[in-house]
Structure 1
Amino acid sequence: MPRIFILGDIRRGGLLAIAAALLFGLSTPAAKLIVGSVDPLLLAGLLYLGSGLGLTLFRLFRRRDGLHLARADYPWLACMVLFGGAIGPALLMQGLTATTGSAASLLLTLEGVFTALIAWIVFREPFNRRIGLGMAAIFLGAVLLGLRGSPGHAGLLGALAITGACLAWAIDNNCTAKIADVDALTLAAIKGVCAGIFNIAIALAVGSRLPALPEIGAAATVGFLGYGLSLVLFVLALREIGAARTGAYFSTAPFIGALIGLVALREPLTVTLAVAGLLMTIGVWLHLTEAPAAPEPTSPP
């Protein structure tokens, strides 16, 4: 019998998820600047290793013990590392080589759609029509981006790679929700170190070379902020509102990245990109404006 998730503080959980989205949204155009000079798989490893090592040092400095992993938590942690730390970022970095930063950022809204679908179908989290309509709008916007291969839009191969990354992270999000009561720093640090070592080892084995120290430092910094601290905030949000709603709030991240791509990277704003962005904005707005469920009446003592 699957466990039925009980919602906590929707407002607090939403703010935590949006803060996580802000950090992650900034990381996508930042990674786009680096990926041209660093092998995509190697860059994915450097991002996560920077995340894991930074959080490990922070956790040691904090000197505070959280809830520890139980034996039953290890399969969920392994799935987090494999899908969220290894497969997801590798696909994203590969997709960034074939897309603009703004188009790639908008495509990342699919992560929230996939997260919600898995949470509702597999883990039986609450569902309503408003969230479903929002998912449909986000998906339609992603289809518009994926079908256009002209400059300024995601080409088909790049779109497929980023869609695969979103699916991998959706699996990761739902696995993380199963052990969200474990100390958030512990989870994020373990995931970062393991995924970083895994991706770097594979990249070096197939002939990639480590970049210069400035690129390594830049990747580590982006990883610590956009993947490390962002994940800590994401896990805290999971405790309050579950994987489906956290994924919905987290869908604000791509718009942050898209705006930065358009302004800082001077990428073109075209009709298709604008229409796709509008559809995805409507979808995210439907998610964010969901009315909290009324509390169940309690019997007097």
Structure 2
Amino acid sequence: MQSRFTAILTALIAAALFGATTPVAKALLGPMPPFMVAGLFYLGSGVGLGAILLVRAFSRARSKGVSAHELTWLVGAIAFGGVAGPALLMLGLTSTPAATSALMLNLEGVLTAAIAWIVFRENVDLSVFLGMVAIVAGGVALAWSPGAADASTGALLIALACLCWAIDNNLTRKISNADAMVIACAKGLVAGATNLGIALAMGAHLPAPRIAVAAMTTGFGGYGVSLVLFVIALRHLGTARTGAYFSVAPVFGVALSLAMWPQAPGIAFWIAAALMTLGVWLHVRERHEHEHTHERLEHTHRHVHDEHHRHEHDFPYAGDEPHTHPHVHLPITHTHAHFPDIHHRHTHKRR
């Protein structure tokens, strides 16, 4: 398994790439309608990753694609995270300041953790729960704007986008053992074509080539590469924890948006920033350790021979690591600090 540091760093890099797209999207909304921006972002993601997959197909690297029984989860993830989420975000950005929009995206991590805890029964400790409360309070501070109905409506749309992505994150967790690049590429191509089709049907026109290329390039990094890293983090950290680390994305968006549009943020912004920073800190400091039992498990993923991978090989093995092949985990009971990764999705007693 990945080390804790590597897994967290993977989630943080994904957050940085995604957070930086918000102010760029705000800048692009001038010449382009929301659905066009979302379509080009995701299309750039799908096309770019697709090109990498074609190149990789000529290598001898082994990977696990999406199986037939996982397609339902993938379709649901694309519908919520690739179609509804980006469109709601783009609509919300039309009436919400970029810095506020970027910070509002912290709600995604909270909603992701809440769904993981309540619906999928993933363990969430007290520190993570208190962090969720702090981030929600920050979101309320940003969304409540007396006398500014447009801003409040925009914040609501962004909150709904966060809900869609939270559902997407939990559905993607069900297939996080598959090839992350295949998942992200499929989402990019389908979501990009759908949003682009909606934009054209509503009378929009394709932008100038240089603007389209800029949007697709932004989407490749902010939606494509970011999603690949996010899926990898899901595999090793679980949904709630990955969502918590990913909620630092707005920090990067805020920094970039204030650099692009210099202004002095209001008091509500700083109150929300303080609450959300506290929430993220509470998430990061959480540690989960107890005696647990691994049941027999057979699956395929990229791995090294750590304490959870003590198996023989039924093919000529040259000792290369990491590598990918079907393997069996035998039952074992032990104690160590862990996250609800693909090897630690056990139930917990509710206290």
Q: With the length of structure 2 as denominator, give the TM-score of the two structures.
A: 0.80
Matching of residue 40 in structure 1 with residue 37 in structure 2: no
Q: Which residue of 1 aligns with 2:284?
A: 288
Matching of residue 184 in structure 1 with residue 180 in structure 2: yes
Amino acid at match of 1:70: S
Whole-Å separation in 2 of the counterparts to 1:16 and 1:164: 26
Amino acid at match of 2:89: L
Query: How many Å apart are 1:55 and its aligned residue?
Result: 0.4
Contact kept? 1:10, 1:292, Cα under 8 Å: no
Query: How many Å apart are 1:264 and its aligned residue?
Result: 2.4
Q: Any idea what SS the aligned residue of 2:198 has?
A: helix
Q: Which residue of 2 aligns with 1:133?
A: 130
Whole-Å separation in 2 of the counterparts to 1:17 and 1:139: 21
Greater fraction helix: 1
Contact kept? 1:146, 1:154, Cα under 8 Å: no
Whole-Å separation in 2 of the counterparts to 1:292 and 1:15: 18
Amino acid at match of 2:241: R
Matching of residue 101 in structure 1 with residue 95 in structure 2: no
Q: Which residue of 1 aligns with 2:11?
A: 17
Between the two proteins, what is the percent identity of the paired residues? 47
Q: Which residue of 2 aligns with 1:228?
A: 224
Q: Any idea what SS the aligned residue of 1:68 has?
A: coil
Relative contact order, higher structure (CA 8 A, sep 6+): 1
Contact kept? 2:137, 2:275, Cα under 8 Å: yes
Whole-Å separation in 2 of the counterparts to 1:49 and 1:55: 10
Equivalent residue in structure 2 for 1:67, among 44, 47, 64: 64
* Matches for 1:1-301 after TM superposition, within 5 Å: 9-63=3-57, 64-148=61-145, 155-293=151-289, 298=334
Query: How many Å apart are 1:29 and its aligned residue?
Result: 0.9
Contact kept? 1:8, 1:241, Cα under 8 Å: no
> Greater CA deviation, 230-239 or 284-293?
284-293
Greater fraction strand: 2
Structure 1 residues 179-226: Cα deviation after superposition (integer angstroms, max 9, x where no partner): 001101000000000000011111111111111112101110110000
Query: How many Å apart are 1:80 and its aligned residue?
Result: 1.2
Query: How many Å apart are 1:154 and its aligned residue?
Result: 8.1
Amino acid at match of 1:202: I
Amino acid at match of 1:22: A
Superposition RMSD on alpha carbons, in Å? 1.9
Query: How many Å apart are 1:105 and its aligned residue?
Result: 0.5
Contact kept? 1:9, 1:241, Cα under 8 Å: no
For structure 1, which runs of at least 5 residues remain unmatched after alignment?
1-6
Structure 1 residues 220-271: Cα deviation after superposition (integer angstroms, max 9, x where no partner): 0110000000000000000101111000000010111012112222143111
Higher-Rg member (1/2): 2
Whole-Å separation in 2 of the counterparts to 1:65 and 1:216: 34
Contact kept? 2:112, 2:169, Cα under 8 Å: yes
Contact kept? 1:100, 1:154, Cα under 8 Å: no
Structure 1 residues 107-148: Cα deviation after superposition (integer angstroms, max 9, x where no partner): 000000110011011111111111111001100111011012
Whole-Å separation in 2 of the counterparts to 1:148 and 1:141: 13
Contact kept? 1:91, 1:165, Cα under 8 Å: yes
Aligned length: 292
Whole-Å separation in 2 of the counterparts to 1:216 and 1:106: 26
Amino acid at match of 2:166: A
Contact kept? 2:125, 2:286, Cα under 8 Å: no
Query: How many Å apart are 1:298 and its aligned residue?
Result: 3.6
Whole-Å separation in 1 of the counterparts to 2:284 and 2:39: 32
Amino acid at match of 1:29: P
Structure 1 residues 30-77: Cα deviation after superposition (integer angstroms, max 9, x where no partner): 111111110001110110000000000011112344212211111111
Contact kept? 1:141, 1:275, Cα under 8 Å: yes
Whole-Å separation in 2 of the counterparts to 1:88 and 1:47: 13
Q: 1:256 to 1:150 in 2, by over 3 A?
A: farther
Q: Any idea what SS the aligned residue of 1:67 has?
A: coil
Contact kept? 1:17, 1:249, Cα under 8 Å: yes
Amino acid at match of 2:273: G
> Greater CA deviation, 170-179 or 199-208?
199-208
> Greater CA deviation, 31-40 or 257-266?
257-266
Whole-Å separation in 2 of the counterparts to 1:134 and 1:10: 20
Q: Which residue of 2 aligns with 1:3?
A: none
Q: 1:150 to 1:11 in 2, by over 3 A?
A: farther
